[in-house]
Amino acid sequence: MGIADMLFKRTSTMALTVIVGAFVFERSFDVLTNTIWDKINEGKQWKDIKKNYES
Amino acid sequence: MISAVAKSGNLAPYLKNTSQAVVSSLKTSVKPVVVSSDKVVAPTPVSKSTDFSLGSALNRGKISVQYGLNGPLQIRSAHTDVRVPDFTYYRKTSTLDPTKKAEASESSRKTFAYTVTAGGFVLTTYAAKNLVGTFVTSMSASADVLALASIEVNLNDIPEGKSVTFKWRGKPLFIRHRNGKEIATESGVDLGSLRDPQHDTERVKDPKWLIVIGVCTHLGCVPVANAGDFGGYYCPCHGSHYDASGRIRKGPAPLNLEVPPYEIKDDGMVIVG
């Protein structure tokens, strides 16, 4: 409760929190959606079959 | 209701200002008379609530008003029969108890509200960043500019035996640093056995460096480097085998891998295209 109040009380700190949060959110969202995509398309992409052709 | 607006003026000290609160103007309730008791009796609630039944309870016909200096100057309805619904389902649990002060739950309520708002701001910032980024990247080099672009590669960075892939004009470009054994093998291949006969010297300027476009001449897949039976490239789509000079040896492809125009500079740089 105290931490959240400290961040949100001033507009400037709130803005900073939002910007940092946006970077964090974007990165984690990308990782999450990429994982879901790769899971759904298991074995169909080059990265999955690449090992069969390395010699 | 007739309301009297009177400026008392000189009569002010002699007038008594009285107002009387009545529960309701409907016929079913007490008539407006001076009631001696302090308590205002609330009537039982009206059970009928259709337009017709409610309308029939209104005063119609002769409405008489007593207007004078010795009676009440104001008749006001007390509205004590109004029923306020129970909103406890919609209230926060921390605010349900009417005896508790609001300040006790203030910080948790504020925190929740501001956190949700901040979350909304984060999502908006993400969307705005992507939107602005879309428009800004639209100003980067367009496809027709890239289509005629040249690429400059430092050959010193490519170790012997390795084939490195670059993106050039939208297509993969293979640059292979060949060792002596590969060069000798490729030079010694009999041209009669080749589907698309080309000597190794026709395909390379410096025999150490093989530079070809990595697009299979069969149906356009990208061959895999250091794979296949001939020590060169192998196309996984339909099984075309290319040798270390990029020539087709086995499989459905009709032609050798295309050699783009390039210049090898003295300092170990090659400019392709």
CATH code at position A16: 1.20.5.260
pLDDT of amino acid B230: 84
Which residues contact residue B261 at a Cβ distance below 8 angstroms, ignoring those fewer than 6 apart?
A: B272, B273
- Mean pLDDT, chain B, as a whole number? 82
Q: Which residues pair with A24 in a beta bridge?
A: none
Question: Does residue B138 or residue B185 have the better pLDDT?
Answer: B138
Mean pLDDT confidence for B210-217? 91
**Nearest Cα residue to B217 out of B183, B246, B178, B260:** B246
Domain with A13 in it: 3-41
A13 lies in some domain:
yes
Nearest CA distance, A39 vs chain B (angstrom)? 23
Q: Which of A3, A5, A6, A8 to substitute to test the interface with B, most B CBs within 10 Å?
A: A8
A22 in a domain, yes or no?
A: yes
Residue A46, in any domain of the structure? no
Interface contact flag, B236 A8, Cβ < 8 Å:
no
CATH topology of domain B151-272: Rieske Iron-sulfur Protein (2.102.10)
The answer to whether the CB of B177 falls within 8 A of the CB of B158 is: yes
Distance from the Cα of B227 to chain A's closest Cα (Å) equals 6
> Which residues in chain A have Cβ-Cβ distances shorter than 8 Å to B240?
none
Pairing of strands B74-77, B248-250: unpaired
pLDDT value of position B1: 47
Q: Do B125 and A18 touch (CB under 8 A)?
A: yes
Strand pairing category for B74-77 and B19-22: parallel
pLDDT tens figures, B226-241: 888 888 899 888 889 9
pLDDT (average), residues B113-119 = 93
Please judge whether B114 and A4 are an interchain contact, meaning their C-beta atoms are less than 8 angstroms apart.
yes
The answer to whether B165 contacts chain A (CB < 8 Å) is no
Instruction: Tell me the pairing of strands B171-177 and B74-77.
Output: unpaired
Q: How is chain B split into domains, by residue range?
A: 110-140, 151-272
Residue owning tokens 């949700």: B116
Question: How many structural domains is chain A composed of?
Answer: 1
Percentage of chain A lying above the pLDDT 90 cut: 60
Q: Please tell me the pTM assigned to this model.
A: 0.48
E strands within B183-246? 209-213, 224-225, 231-235, 240-243
Residue among B76, B70, B81 at smallest CA distance from B17: B70
What's the length of chain B? 273
Task: Report angle CA B142, B144, B149 to the nearest 5 degrees.
Answer: 95
**Which parts of B52-150 are beta strand (E)?**
74-77
Q: How far is B263 from chain A (nearest CA, A)?
A: 31
> Which residues of chain B lie closer than 8 angstroms to A26, CB-CB?
126, 129
Tell whether ipTM is more than 0.90.
no
In a domain, A53, yes or no: no
Residue A50 lies in a domain: no
Chain B residues whose CB is inside 8 A of the A19 CB are 125
**CA separation (Å) from A33 to A19, A30, A37, B101, B132?**
21, 5, 6, 46, 21
Chain B residues close to A17, C-beta within 8 Å: 118
| pLDDT of A22 above 60 | yes
Contacts 24+ apart (CB under 8 A), B231-239: B231/B182, B231/B185, B233/B163, B233/B174, B233/B257, B234/A53, B236/A49, B236/A53
Q: What average pLDDT score do residues A16-45 get?
A: 95
